[in-house]
Amino acid sequence: MASIGFLTLHLLLPGCRSLKEKRGRLKPLLARLHRDFNISAAEIDRQDIWQETVVGCVVISNDANHSSRLLQQIPETIEKNWPDFQLIDSTLQLL
């Protein structure tokens, strides 16, 4: 049976001064998450706020444990490799 994992990340972008700058900082993060974790990732909320964003990450797998383990790695990876983002909150759901 297929498992769908959904991770929501609430992030701050300190010092961001425009929506153009926000998009410029967010686009490489989304591409890297897709490439490194083979997931779908997109900005899903706070699109009009310069220094804040909510990113949704989704994976589908035939193993719920795999989906959970994969998505649990993402917040730590962002904190470790993307110092220009501050993680406020993350929520993981499995369907």
* Each residue's pLDDT tens digit, 45-76: 999 999 999 999 999 999 999 999 999 999 99
pLDDT for the residue 76: 95
From residue 80, alpha-carbon distances to 9, 16, 62, 66 in Å are: 15, 20, 29, 22
Name the residue range of residue 79's domain.
3-94
pLDDT confidence band for 1 (50 / 70 / 90): confident
**CATH code: domain of residue 30:** 3.30.70.1120
Q: Evaluate whether 51 touches 61 at the Cβ level (below 8 Å).
A: no
**The tokens of 92 are what?**
């993981």
Q: How many domains does the chain have?
A: 1
Check whether 2 has a pLDDT greater than 90: no
Q: Residue range 31-56: average pLDDT?
A: 96
Alpha carbons 15 and 22: distance in angstroms, whole number: 10
**The tokens of 17 are what?**
């001064």
Cα four-point dihedral sign 77, 6, 65, 38: negative
The runs of H, that is alpha helices, within the chain are 19-37, 64-81
Look up the pTM and report it: 0.93
pLDDT for the residue 17: 95
